[in-house]
Amino acid sequence: MLTVQNVRKHFGDTKAVDGISFELEGGKVAAVIGANGAGKTTLIKSIVGLIKYEGSIAIDGIDMAKKPKEARRRIGYVAQTPAFHPDMTVRETMTFYADLKQVDVKEAPPLLETVGLENQLDKRAGALSGGMRQRLALAVALLGNPPLLVLDEPVSGLDIAARIELRELVTRQRDAGTAVLLSTHWMEDVPYIADTTLVLDQGKLVFSGAASALTGEAAAGSRLFLRLNGHTPEAIPMIAALTGREVEHSGDWLIASCPPTQKAGIVESLIASGVNILDFRVEEASVDEAVLRLRNSKGDQS
């Protein structure tokens, strides 16, 4: 559905995108991660035909540079900061874009229900919160049932509940055979959403592979903070055995460093062993740390 071959985009001496190649099939989700300035948005703008680039990009076999209109018809795109006419209502906005995309306006109501805006039909776009504008952008992107959905930082402005809803929406699109490409700063979303992960660093693709590989031992870890009601002496060796790492202390808290995929298992194991957890919180590793670990792992291999 999406083929990217040796794509490059330079701004003066800055190599925003530097020779990136990958493919994305229908029914698969690829997450693009990287620190600010890594080239994520430039890559996505190239893919959706908003900026010129060197190299080759094809959507469903259609060359974006040669037939941009035909290629863009196959893309549903959500920009990092969606912009709508502030005086148009949600209903009017959906009608406008349905006409623009030449699709039946009857598609709009179920899509608005899908993104949780069915009760906001007469609210003006300018009065919507950032999260609601993001939801409206998703509904617009889904008009016409495009085979490729491209989302640039889709969780920006969304609360936890809305992020979970987005995960479910992306999963439904994948199950329906849609190819989904999304960029995100949220490492913890990746294993729940993506099949594959692309990590960008200074315009280069430094990792391409299964999302599970990125959340494994070679990837950035989380820190799980636990406050227990007794049983601490028994809990410490149990946590250390599960993580393979030494357990740290900070006041009343035990701190376990672990891959993101191990967090739930640690909590479940403690509860099953009769350990009473009074409180817990998670400190997710940053994208910067993930990129640094990937750099270091590549250096060790060489």
Render each residue's pLDDT in the chain as its tens digit; 302 residues: 999 999 999 999 899 999 999 999 999 999 998 877 889 999 999 999 999 999 999 999 999 999 999 999 999 999 888 889 999 999 999 999 999 999 999 999 999 998 889 999 999 999 998 888 888 999 999 999 999 999 998 776 666 667 777 788 888 899 999 999 998 766 666 777 889 989 888 899 988 888 766 655 445 567 888 888 877 788 889 899 988 888 988 888 899 887 766 777 888 888 888 888 888 887 766 555 666 666 555 544 44
Residue 159: the pLDDT is 66
Residue 6 falls within a domain, yes or no? yes
Where residue 240 sits, what CATH number does that domain have? 3.30.70
Residue 11: per-residue pLDDT: 93
| Strand 29-33 relative to strand 54-59, pairing | unpaired
Asked if residue 50 belongs to a domain, the reply is yes
Domain count, the chain: 2
Sign of CA pseudo-dihedral 127, 132, 138, 144: negative
pLDDT of residue 217: 42
Residue 247 lies in a domain: yes
- Map residue 75 onto helix, strand or coil: strand
**Has residue 165 been placed in a domain?**
yes
Q: What is the pLDDT of residue 33?
A: 86
Report the predicted TM-score, pTM, of the whole model to 2 decimal places: 0.74
Per-residue model confidence (pLDDT) at position 51: 95
67-102: b (≥16 Cβ within 10 Å) or e? ebeebbbbbbbbbbebebeeeebbbbbbeebbeebe
Same domain, 160 and 49: yes
What is the predicted pLDDT for the residue at 26? 94
Does one domain contain both 73 and 123?
yes
Alpha helices in the chain (DSSP H): 40-47, 68-72, 90-101, 108-114, 130-142, 160-175, 190-193, 211-214, 232-243, 263-272, 287-301
Q: Which token pair is 239?
A: 């946590």
Last residue of a domain, which of 172, 191, 214? Answer: 214
What's the pLDDT score for residue 149? Answer: 95
For strands 204-210 and 253-258, give the pairing. unpaired
- Residue 135 domain boundaries: 2-214
Whether residue 299 is contained in a domain is answered as no
Residue 103 carries which side chain, given as an amino acid letter?
V
pLDDT for 156 equals 65
Residue 164 lies in a domain: yes
Do residues 208 and 226 both lie within one domain?
no
In the listed set 163, 198, 214, which residue is the last one of a domain according to the structure? 214
Is 165 found in the same domain as 88?
Answer: yes
Rounded Cα gap, residues 24 and 4, in angstroms: 9
Strand partners, 222: 258
Establish if 17 belongs to a structural domain.
yes
